[in-house]
Amino acid sequence: MEFIKPVHVERSNVEWQVTDRIKAIVKYYSEYTGISENEVLDRFLVNILEDPDFKQ
């Protein structure tokens, strides 16, 4: 897993329905890294591309 390094990139807002548990995890990780919750999700979800079956 690749850990997040702060970066400033313009993003659009997206509405997602996630559990309170996931919201809390993202919130705390955002506070820990000092980057926005949107950026945490954006960078974390890119890791899906590491799944070799998904790329096919």
Domain residue limits, the chain: 20-55
Helix spans in 1-56 (H)? 20-33, 37-45, 52-55
pLDDT score at 6: 67
pLDDT score at 26: 93
pLDDT score at 20: 95
pLDDT score at 51: 83
Threshold 0.85, pTM exceeds = no
* Residues 6 or more apart in contact with residue 11 via CB below 8 angstroms: 38, 39, 42
pLDDT score at 34: 93
Contact 4, 33 (CB under 8 A): yes
pLDDT in tens, the chain (56 residues): 777 776 666 777 778 789 999 999 999 999 999 999 988 988 888 888 888 888 76
- DSSP class of residue 39 equals H
Contact 47, 1 (CB under 8 A): yes
